[in-house]
Amino acid sequence: MDWLAQRGVALEDIAAVVLEVQDQFHANLTLEDCLESVKAVVAKREVQHALLTGIALDMAAEAGAVPEPLLTILRRDDALYGVDEVLALAITNVYGSIGMTNFGYLDKKKIGIIGTLNSRQQPGMVHTFLDDMVAGIAAAASARLAHNSLDHTR
Amino acid sequence: MDWLAQRGVALEDIAAVVLEVQDQFHANLTLEDCLESVKAVVAKREVQHALLTGIALDMAAEAGAVPEPLLTILRRDDALYGVDEVLALAITNVYGSIGMTNFGYLDKKKIGIIGTLNSRQQPGMVHTFLDDMVAGIAAAASARLAHNSLDHTR
Amino acid sequence: MDWLAQRGVALEDIAAVVLEVQDQFHANLTLEDCLESVKAVVAKREVQHALLTGIALDMAAEAGAVPEPLLTILRRDDALYGVDEVLALAITNVYGSIGMTNFGYLDKKKIGIIGTLNSRQQPGMVHTFLDDMVAGIAAAASARLAHNSLDHTR
Amino acid sequence: MDWLAQRGVALEDIAAVVLEVQDQFHANLTLEDCLESVKAVVAKREVQHALLTGIALDMAAEAGAVPEPLLTILRRDDALYGVDEVLALAITNVYGSIGMTNFGYLDKKKIGIIGTLNSRQQPGMVHTFLDDMVAGIAAAASARLAHNSLDHTR
């Protein structure tokens, strides 16, 4: 996903988030396993569409190409604006609803790259959607690991 | 909602859609009742945020201010692009999940202004989000009428 | 899926619904294609969980094994009860949000087996969830056909 | 809500969870404020329907009145079963999508009564749905506080 790279997010960064939260649930889980799961998630059309849309909105807000009052809402990542969570849910759901809990936890704890994106909100930069998209991908990749792992142990 | 008016949608147009589909379920339902319900829906913050976001994306696509491949997807209203439905669901849900069925029906039958927006896709105009947003508002307004009506008859 | 058969629904009945609504969008679509798509949907764990849960609630309501006021709500398929739609959405979403529109349309038009289930509500029988589950499966199978078809034609 | 009390959950328990997670965001937030918000959430019809349905399923599983394989899934609160999260989302959404993040966090951290319900899973007791329902109510009550608070300070 070129778009993610251009916005400063490597798939390895997302895999590291997955590893941090899933390590305790899977014996011998490696960063490589997590990266493979992240790649499977971002290969899904539904995920790509949500991701492209969220990043396009961040970029439009950076360029000032969004009418008010939405521009101000996006630039300050207004706590009552929930469209970013709605888009993230479309990502999280590709491996079923069990990803939702992970999403909420990651979005709140801002682990790894998610926190970096959040704190990186310098003047002129907008990551209102990107941090939620990344949390959504990490949550979906975690759900995918859970589905695969439990299939094997039964 | 100035944004709706600027995109060629009057609240009365949406009320007319509500009247057409709800007429059979409510005795003596008037256009005025439907308009009041539409106004209650668009007064909700969650609805306004989804609506502003969808319209901003339509406008950005019209202006060519969206990177590829999203630009082409938005301009041709790609049948596999589902983010417009996701945003519409955020609108539809403000009066609970019973609005979802109405949304799907309206979105498919393209009644009234919804069909007009769809056929109005002239070169340079993009209504990929707007028709779904309007169907979502009409569906939510219908759900609100159902909630209120059944409260009174019990 | 034994549970579906025991509740009077054959996978072929659902495939027939898919064929009826998707025929116009796919050249040379056969009942066999639709059946294969329905089978792929019901093989998904998320779908099976939602389906089992909905049918268990229908059966519990038939047996009177649900406390009031929920028992009365389920027995009369209360128009304001939206949990059946929520469960159906979990099914519909397995192939992304584009299934939602088909769900709403099918749920309203009650095509084929969906209508049969609805009218079959004899004293003692409860299909409050089943008709929505079946519409959800048909909608997801339609979305799957759309994804596959458009992949091939590009 | 008698059903909650019968299942061992006082509205005050849920209010205490809200206070613990929202305290840092609202100056002078009291348990009374949180309780009022919880009461507003459980007064909503959509919330009551989801709650009654989830509790009915827990009770049916306790009574063994659910067919296999669902009975085993519900009794062990299978990690891949996501219908409880789906129902909780219907609750969380009554004050918009900003509640989703709080839900995921609460569901994972199992604060207060949510953790008690989880650990209380003695032989014969099933709280597969109840802990998610309670987390959903607490998340919605938190979202409601956020909406009201930010309205006042602007």
Chain D residues whose CB is inside 8 A of the A150 CB are 79-80
Cβ count near B150 (within 10 Å): 15
Let me know: does C131 contact C109? Beta carbons within 8 Å: no
* Cβ under 8 Å to D: A residues 12-51: none
A86 with B60: Cβ contact below 8 A: no
The CA distances from residue C9 to B151, C55, C134, D39, D92, in Å, are 35, 12, 8, 41, 33
User: Which residues of chain C are modeled with pLDDT < 70?
Assistant: 1, 120-121, 150-154
Half-sphere exposure of A48 (CA within 13 A, CB side): 15
CA distance C141 to chain B (A): 14
> What pLDDT does residue D121 have?
60
A33 confidence band (pLDDT: 50, 70, 90): very high
Is D147 within 8 Å of chain A by CB?
yes
Instruction: Please say if the pLDDT value at position A128 is more than 80.
Output: yes
Mean pLDDT, range B9-27, rounded to an integer: 94
Q: What is the CATH number of the domain that holds D32?
A: 1.10.3760.10
C59 with D73: Cβ contact below 8 A: no
A26 confidence band (pLDDT: 50, 70, 90): confident
Mean pLDDT, range B110-137, rounded to an integer: 89
Mean pLDDT, range B76-82, rounded to an integer: 92
Instruction: Please say if the pLDDT value at position A140 is more than 90.
Output: yes
D69 confidence band (pLDDT: 50, 70, 90): very high
Average pLDDT value for chain A: 92
> What pLDDT does residue C150 have?
66
Let me know: does C127 contact C61? Beta carbons within 8 Å: no
> What pLDDT does residue C83 have?
97
Residues 6+ apart with CB under 8 A from C62: C124, C125, C126
Number of folded domains that form chain C: 1
Q: Which residue of C has its CA nearest to A48?
A: C96
Give the Cα separation of B139 and C105 in Å (integer). 12
Chain C residues whose CB is inside 8 A of the B79 CB are 98, 146, 150
CA distance D100 to chain A (A): 6
Written in H, E and C, the secondary structure of chain D is CHHHHHCCCCHHHHHHHHHHHHHHHCCCCCHHHHHHHHHHHHCCHHHHHHHHHHHHHHHHHHCCCCCCCHHHHHHCCCCCCCHHHHHHHHHHHHHCCCHHHHHHHHHHHCCCHHHHHHHCCCCCCCCCCHHHHHHHHHHHHHHHHHHHHHHHHC
Subunits next to C (3 or more Cβ pairs <8 Å) are A, B, D
CA distance B4 to chain C (A): 22
Instruction: Please say if the pLDDT value at position D154 is more than 60.
Output: no
Mean pLDDT, range D110-132, rounded to an integer: 87
B150 confidence band (pLDDT: 50, 70, 90): low
Chain D residues whose CB is inside 8 A of the C83 CB are 49-50, 53, 87, 90
Of residues B46, B97, B147, nearest to D96 (C-beta): B46
CA distance D78 to chain A (A): 10
Of residues A81, A98, A107, nearest to D80 (C-beta): A98
Higher per-residue confidence, B145 vs D122: B145
> What pLDDT does residue D150 have?
66
* Cβ under 8 Å to D: A residues 90-119: 96-98, 100-109
Mean pLDDT, range A93-121, rounded to an integer: 89
> What pLDDT does residue A85 have?
95
Of residues C80, C82, C100, nearest to B89 (C-beta): C100
Instruction: Give the domain extent around A21.
Output: 2-153
Instruction: Please say if the pLDDT value at position D123 is more than 80.
Output: no
Of residues B60, B69, B86, nearest to A90 (C-beta): B86
Instruction: Please say if the pLDDT value at position D122 is more than 90.
Output: no
Which two tokens mark A28? 């011998």
Q: Full-prediction pTM beyond 0.90?
A: yes
Give the Cα separation of D55 and C58 in Å (integer). 15
Q: What is the pLDDT of residues A38-64, one digit of tens each?
A: 999 999 999 999 999 999 999 999 999
Give the Cα separation of B78 and B86 in Å (integer). 14
Q: Please tell me whether the peptide bond between A123 and the residue prior to it is cis, using omega within 30 degrees of 0.
A: no
Instruction: Please say if the pLDDT value at position B109 is more than 60.
Output: yes
Of residues D83, D103, D147, nearest to A104 (C-beta): D103
D104 with A104: Cβ contact below 8 A: yes
Instruction: Please say if the pLDDT value at position D1 is more than 70.
Output: no
Instruction: Please say if the pLDDT value at position B153 is more than 50.
Output: no
Instruction: Please say if the pLDDT value at position A142 is more than 90.
Output: yes
Give the mutation candidate from D53, D66, D87 for the C interface (greatest C CB count, under 10 A).
D53
Of residues D83, D105, D150, nearest to A105 (C-beta): D105
CA distance B154 to chain A (A): 35
Q: Which residue of A has its CA nearest to B57?
A: A57
> What pLDDT does residue B129 have?
97
**ipTM of this predicted complex?**
0.92
Instruction: Please say if the pLDDT value at position A120 is more than 70.
Output: no
> What pLDDT does residue D118 have?
82
Q: What percent of chain D has pLDDT over 90?
A: 79
Instruction: Please say if the pLDDT value at position B152 is more than 70.
Output: no
Chain C residues whose CB is inside 8 A of the B101 CB are 85, 103-104, 107-108
Of residues C52, C66, C86, nearest to D86 (C-beta): C86
> What pLDDT does residue D149 have?
81
> What pLDDT does residue D124 have?
82
